[in-house]
Amino acid sequence: MREVALLFFIVVAGTAGELCVSRAMKSIGEVHDFRPRSILRFVIRSLRLPWMWLGVTLMSLGFFSLLAILSFQEVSFVVPVSALSYAAGAFGAKVFLGERINRNRWIGIAVVCIGVTIVWWSRK
């Protein structure tokens, strides 16, 4: 039961956090310059965005849940099962970011979910 609760936090809080970060990144725009100084400026600029902070908070919640579950479960079980966030991510990206998700992506995401189910069956 505690496994399911922690996995829920990893998937839902983690995905919601990433969606917030993605929203912040899109408002900055495409990065063309990869010199260290420019990357540092890019990081500082992103830290001024509220969406970034909301995203980081949610992702932290997901991260602490990950640490808790890793204290008693195998890495090779926990991380693949957390791939359930693909389905959550696709729904969130469609609703929250207005991304168009074509049929091929949906098929891919469905296959990922089948893989997650198989990994779940291998639970010890």
Partner 1 sequence: MTHTRRLHLKTTLLILLSIILGPLGNVFLGKAMKGVGPVFSGRIPELGQIVSRVLASGYIWLGIACLLGFFVVHMLLLTWADYSYVQPATSLSYLSLSILSYFLLREMISPLRWLGVIVICLGVFLVGRTSPSTTGAPDRA
| Per CB under 8 A, 65 contacts partner 1 | no
Q: Which two tokens stand for residue 105?
A: 């992506």
Which lies closer to partner 1 via its Cβ, residue 48 or residue 108? 108
Write down the least CB distance from residue 114 to partner 1, Å: 6
| Per CB under 8 A, 7 contacts partner 1 | no
CB contact burial 20-55 (16+ within 10 A = b; e otherwise): bbbbbbeeeeeeeeeeeeeeeeeeeebeebebbebb
| Per CB under 8 A, 12 contacts partner 1 | no
Determine which residue in the list 7, 12, 16, 66 makes contact with partner 1, applying CB under 8 A: 66
The residue assigned the tokens 């993605």 is: 22
